[in-house]
Amino acid sequence: MKRKHLFSVTKKEFDVQTFKSGGPGGQHQNKTYSAVRRVHRESGAVGISRNDRSQHRNKKLALERLVKSKKFKLWIQRRVHEIEIGETIEIQVEQTMKPENFLYALPYDFYTKHQIRKYGFHGISHQFVSEKATKILKKDFNIQKKELKLISCHV
């Protein structure tokens, strides 16, 4: 089976906190900041290591523990699922944009050669959110468009 790259997780997505290890091990553990806690902000997964005297090795071990945690694995599964079915709002909105909404008032040649286009989508986003809301409310969007009174807010 051929694998494909869906998304990346970078170091910027993690918080690294250092603290004194404490406990048995003498003065070195009680005075130096060798223990490490890594937190993945988006998933909330945490990995902690205070086993080694070296902060560098503890950083590596904390990351390994975080990656093996149930919370992080669940976040990855959800993320892959969103990407595979195209449920991320950016993908849905981009797919529903009509050419007149994403093309600037420039020659069409600019779009075909240089891929110059708009990415603003407030009107399309309202349509997307409205369709999702009708699914949640178990209503038919096309039939009951005029009956539904929906307000969408963009922050």
DSSP-assigned states of every residue in 120-147: --HHHHHHHHHHHHHHHTT--TTTSTTT
Residues 152, 118: one domain?
yes
> Is 3 within the bounds of a domain?
no
Tokens of 22: 């404490």
Range of the domain at 43: 11-81
Residues 153, 102: one domain?
yes
Tokens of 70: 């149930």
Residues 95, 155: one domain?
yes
> Is 5 within the bounds of a domain?
no
Residues 62, 102: one domain?
no
Point out the domain boundary residue: 47, 81, 115.
Answer: 81
Give the span between the Cα atoms of 108 and 112, in whole angstroms.
7
Instruction: Give, rounded to a whole angstrom, the gap between the first and last alpha carbons of the chain.
Output: 41
pLDDT, greater one: 47 or 97:
47
Into how many domains does the chain fold? 2
Write the pLDDT tens digit of every residue in 100-126. 565 656 666 766 777 665 555 555 566
> Is 1 within the bounds of a domain?
no
How confident is the model at residue 80, as a pLDDT?
Answer: 86
- Model confidence at 72, in pLDDT bands (50, 70, 90)? very high
> Is 50 within the bounds of a domain?
yes
Residues β-bridged to residue 49:
36
How confident is the model at residue 75, as a pLDDT?
Answer: 92
> Is 121 within the bounds of a domain?
yes
Write the pLDDT tens digit of every residue in 131-151. 777 777 777 766 655 667 776
Tokens of 151: 């307000």
Write the pLDDT tens digit of every residue in 2-29. 777 778 888 889 999 998 877 666 666 6
pLDDT, greater one: 114 or 44:
44
Residues 91, 58: one domain?
no
Residue pair 119/102 in contact (Cβ under 8 Å)? The answer is yes
Given a cut of 90, whether residue 66 has pLDDT beyond it is yes
Point out the domain boundary residue: 57, 81, 105.
Answer: 81
